[in-house]
Amino acid sequence: MAELASRKKCAKAALIALAKQRFAEQQSASSHQLVAPISPSPPELVDATISELRARGLLTSRLVDLGCGDGRWLVAARHYCRRLVGYDIDGALLAKGRAALDGADHALVEADFFESENIFEEGDVVVAYLFREGCTKLRAKLERELGRGTLVCVGFEMRGWRSSFEVTAGGLVARVYEVCAESPPV
């Protein structure tokens, strides 16, 4: 049993080291300061979270995915939201998302969402898979611009906020926060 725990610990350390190395390589090649892992959300987590949002009546208006990559959150929500919006700085990934969303009411924007203003509407479900530093920066933007909505924070928590519920699947956790400008989820 101790040997298995030791192997798991070594494997986890190796994966973290590899992820850090990959991130450093991508950071040096990017003209933007990256605030998110270049790693897609596991499909199991996306599907389980979308199902839970639907069951709770939170997925009806718009879904905004910040750092949408290939658009997997948008694709999963396409039949449940009236509008899908994704932001990413990688045009090649956005092209994959556009192809997958063909026929859905969507907008995929090649831009740094932190530099974009007034991107949220009342009632939005916002998906973000950001590092802690990115979450801190996003919190200020949400408090300034969102008003009322739902935040799905993948992998990392929004420090200082209490999640309404969590979904765990595919080795990651999605923490869901119900945001209200008058009383943030603390």
Q: Is the pLDDT of residue 33 over 80?
A: no
d(C-alpha 68, C-alpha 52), whole Å: 20
pLDDT digits (tens, 9 = 90+) for 130-141: 888 888 899 989
pLDDT digits (tens, 9 = 90+) for 85-127: 999 999 999 999 999 998 888 999 999 988 988 889 888 999 9
pLDDT at 39: 76
* 112 CB neighbour count, 10 Å cutoff: 16
CB 137 within 8 A of CB 35: yes
Dihedral over Cα of 177, 183, 133, 68: its sign: positive
Mean pLDDT on 78-88: 93
Residues with Cβ within 8 Å of residue 48, at least 6 apart in sequence: 167, 169, 174
User: Would strands 148-154 and 124-128 be described as parallel, antiparallel, or unpaired?
Assistant: parallel
Strands in 101-144 per DSSP E: 106-110, 124-128
CA angle 85, 146, 64 (to 5 degrees): 15
The overall longest dimension of the chain from CA atoms, in Å, is 53
pTM for this prediction: 0.80
CB 122 within 8 A of CB 148: yes
**CA neighbours closer than 13 Å in the CB half-sphere of residue 116:** 16
Q: Is the pLDDT of residue 18 over 70?
A: no
The secondary element (H helix, E strand) that includes residue 119 is: none
Of residues 19 and 40, which shows the higher confidence score?
40
